[in-house]
Amino acid sequence: MTEASLAATDRSTARQPEFRQRNTAAAIGNWFSDGWITTRRNLIKIKRVPDILVFTTLQPIMFVLLFTYVYGGVVKIPGSNYTEFIMAGIFAQTVVFGSTYSGSAMAQDLKDGIIDRFRTLPMSPSAVLIGRTNGDLLINAISMAVMMTTGFIVGWRIRSSFLEAAAAVALLLLFAYAFSWVMAFIGMSVRSPEVINNVSFLVLFPLTFISNAFVPSNTLPTPLRIFAEFNPVSALVQAARELFGNVPPGSPVPDNWAQQNPVLTVLIGITALLLVFVPLAIRKFAQVSSR
Amino acid sequence: MTFIEARGLSKTYSPRGAGPVHALDGLDLVVPRGTVTALLGPNGAGKTTTVKVLTTLIRPDHGTATIDGIDVIAHPDRIRPIIGVSGQYAAVDENLTGFENLDMVGRLYHLGARQSRARARELISLFDLEEAQNRPVKGFSGGMRRRIDLAGALVTRPKVLFLDEPTTGLDPRSRLGMWDIITTLVGQGTTVLLTTQYLEEADRLADSISVIDDGKVIAEGTADELKASIGGQRVEINLVDPADAPVAFEILRRFGSSEPTGSLEGRELTVNAVDAPVALQSILAEFGARDIRLFDAGMRRPTLDDVFLKLTGHMATEEDQDQDHQGGKAGRAGRKKPGKESGKTATGADSGTNMANKDEVGAAS
Ligand SMILES: Nc1ncnc2c1ncn2[C@@H]1O[C@H](COP(=O)(O)OP(=O)(O)OP(=O)(O)O)[C@@H](O)[C@H]1O
Ligand SMILES: [Mg+2]
């Protein structure tokens, strides 16, 4: 440490930072800035840890190909083809799993101690979570693009308007975004990235499979069928399937309200998740400290 | 003038499957503006918990804390802009480079983009991290990580700096560099609260020292006051033949001002003395008369180690010393070199590093 570099601090530390928190406009400006800085942190992570991106793109491609070619020949969907039927299911499953990164990442941040750094800074208490969930949103958006492209190649077609298809994509991403907040909250409560990964696998696999994602729910044995019809993932899949125009013609309409109004159900679900878990997660963040 | 003030802080943890832990148990602390206060204490004493309460990371169960007159518990958002923190464990983003970490902290302190980058560059050079600035922290050594974290505490010019074991894991050169930085900042008016396991560090940097044990402050004062509080100078002798120990013990008791203590299988004996030169002369004369042979004999002022060990009872306890002149293991470790050092030795385990430090001081000056 040289005299010169010390002198450099003398000069710079003499400059006081201009805290721009005097008025509401500045506070809102800071909030956006904090959210952007923490989002950028997560973008850099995606760039530096390419496994995430590789996994996020390869896994959905693999799912699309596996389901289309392995089951496509066997599972007969009257009046449609299996590829068109399962795409909405694969979309939903992938984005739901994509939201779990927020859980393991928050747990990892606590473990690494970086949360303690953030919590001693004069930043908005929601910023770290906003950055984190934005990271998931981006990963899921990339996954969606990859899956849709792969789907087109293997014969999936959108049989609705552009606007409806865009609404389907938005609904899938928004649901996953809300779910990221749930996972972020769980991640800060459980505090172990390994546990988060294992438990989300254990919970989410049955949740996505015992649904209408990969087979029509009326083909399931009764207990599973009842579960599938009330499963929120089913509503999401049904909503996406309707909006993409991929519901097989003449398929029976289940006699429950959620399945009959899937888009509305999902919108209500998203709103409820956000209303509950955004404040819960922010409050949790303001209390946690590593070790 | 009081800058940091904590009154009756208490914090109890109830870990799963274990009894409650009283991490803080009525801790009081006052840090005057522009001074350095060091918290000393054995592992688990509550140093980190104190720092976490004052840096808004945890809420105490009871008690109050203010910094610059602002209530830490009620207004954490008004405290954060004026503090700089480096915790016991480096809080850095593994995937960001050293530079990106510091720039991120700068932006989150709401420095403008340009100012934040300029400051990050200055800190990189101040902490000698040029060659590491563009590598992700993931590949950093422990000491480099630590330095990035310390730099993170200095991104703005904080009014008060909290450093939890700032130089643990740093090489001697970096440690001296950190000491220089702290001294410079204090010269500019920054108030510093630090914890440390290196008593030499407390001796060198701290205007005031608070010794913490079991979540309470058990002693406070300047290093000299603390040393004086455990008695004046001491006489130490090192026998050739342990068989002489009982006789030597009696002689030390006669000329000293305290009960002698012993270690090294009874060959090394120590006693406090009001007038150490006179006591030493008398003791040596008496030894000569009785033909007791010595390896070594000398006077020593108490070190902070002595203060620490005595106050926190992690040396041989009083009873041990009364019943057993052999003394405790800790006592032995702390006093290998009687009469050689005057008040600046570190604990036995760390003496290697600290010796190296001294060489560095010599070389630098
Ligand atoms: N999150 C926690 N859960 C349970 N117990 C805790 C927690 N944090 C601290 N403790 C306990 O509180 C006590 C004080 O801990 P603290 O970390 O403040 O000690 P310290 O003085 O910093 O020790 P060290 O020198 O080892 O860093 C210890 O007994 C510790 O086990
Ligand atoms: Mg500690």
pLDDT score at B226: 87
Span A225-258, pLDDT tens digits:
989 988 999 999 999 999 999 998 878 777 788 8
Between A261 and A252, the more confident residue is A261
Contact A188, A107 (CB under 8 A): yes
Range name among A12-16, A60-64, B158-162, B361-365 with the lowest pLDDT average: B361-365
Mean pLDDT of chain B: 84
User: Measured on CA atoms in the order B179, B184, B185, B189, is the torsion positive or negative?
Assistant: positive
**B256, burial (CB in 10 Å: exposed 0-12, middle 13-18, buried 19+):** buried
Q: Are B143 and B36 in contact (CB under 8 A)?
A: no
> What is the mean predicted confidence (pLDDT) over B123-149?
93
- Ligand 1 contact, B174 CB (< 6 A): no
More confidently predicted of B309 and A272: A272
Query: For residue B264, what pLDDT is reported?
Result: 57
| Cβ contact B110–A119 (<8 Å) | no
Structure tokens given for B256: 């000293």
What is the Rg, in whole angstroms, of the alpha carbon atoms belonging to chain A? 22
In sequence order, what DSSP letters do the residues of A217-232 get, joined into one string? GGGS-HHHHHHHHH-H
Domain spans of chain A, in order of start: 40-289
Q: Kindly report the CATH class assigned to B2-228.
A: alpha beta
Contacts of B290 (CB under 8 A, 6+ apart): B247, B251
- B91, B119, B180 member nearest A12 (Cβ): B119
- Cα–Cα distance measured from residue B74 to residue B60, given in angstroms and rounded to the nearest whole number: 12
Nearest residue on chain A to B118, alpha-carbon basis = A12
The predicted structure's pLDDT at residue A22: 59
CA B96 to CA B81: how far, in whole Å?
A: 23
pLDDT score at B314:
53
DSSP conformation letters of B94-132: TTSBHHHHHHHHHHHTT--HHHHHHHHHHHHHHTT-GGG
User: What percent of the residues of chain B are helix, what percent strand, and what percent coil, each to the nearest 5?
Assistant: 40, 25, 35
Predicted confidence at residue B4, as pLDDT, reads: 97
Residues of chain A found within 8 Å of residue B188, distances taken between Cβ atoms: 10, 13-14
Distance CA B120, CA A118 (A): 17
DSSP B65: E
- Quote the crossing angle between the two packed helices B113-126 and B98-108, to the nearest 10°: 130
Over residues B246-268, mean pLDDT: 83
At residue B310 the predicted structure's pLDDT band, cuts being 50, 70 and 90, is confident
One-letter amino acid at B128 equals D
Q: Is A123 on the interface with B (CB under 8 A)?
A: yes
Question: B134: Cβ–Cβ under 8 A, 6 or more apart, which residues?
Answer: B97, B98, B99
CATH number of the domain located at residue range(s) B231-300 in this protein: 3.30.70.2190
Task: State the Cα–Cα distance between residues A196 and A188, nearest whole angstrom.
Answer: 10
Strands across the sheet with B268-273, in order? B261-263, B268-273, B233-239, B294-300
Whether B91 sits inside 8 A of A291 (CB atoms) is no
Stretch B46-54: mean pLDDT, rounded? 97
How high does pLDDT run on average in chain A? 88
Asked whether residue B350 carries a pLDDT value surpassing 70, the answer given is no
What is the per-residue pLDDT across A152-171, written as a single tens digit (0 to 9) for each?
999 999 999 999 999 999 99
Distance CA(A286)–CA(A288), nearest Å, equals 6
Q: Does A141 touch chain B (CB under 8 A)?
A: no
Chain B positions touching A41 (Cβ under 8 A) are 93, 96, 104
The proportion of chain A whose per-residue pLDDT surpasses 70, expressed as a percent, equals: 92
Q: Considering only A143-147, B10-14, B15-19, B97-101, which range has the smallest mean pLDDT?
A: B15-19
pLDDT band with cut points at 50, 70 and 90 for residue B1:
confident
pLDDT tier, B242 (very low <50, low <70, confident <90, very high otherwise)? confident
Distance, CA of A193 to CA of A170 (rounded, Å): 28
| CB proximity list for B307: less than 8 A, separation 6 or greater | B211, B219, B226, B227, B229, B230
CA distance B132 to chain A (A): 15
Burial track B34-56 (b if 16+ CB lie within 10 A, e otherwise): bbbbbbbbbeebbbbbbbbbbbb
- Token pair, residue B251, equals 């002689």
Chain B hits for A17, Cβ within 8 Å? 109-111, 115, 156-157
Q: Domain residue spans in chain B?
A: 2-228, 231-300
pLDDT attached to residue B63: 97
Would you state the pLDDT for residue B233? 83
Q: Which residue has the higher pLDDT, B34 or B338?
A: B34
Residues B40, B38: Cα–Cα separation, whole Å: 6
What is the ipTM, given to two decimal places?
0.87
Which residue from A5, A40, A120 is facing B55, i.e. has the nearest CB? Answer: A120
B115 and A15 in contact by Cβ < 8 A?
A: yes
Q: What is the pLDDT of residues A52-65, one digit of tens each?
A: 888 888 988 998 89
Q: Which pair of tokens denotes residue B310? A: 């005595």
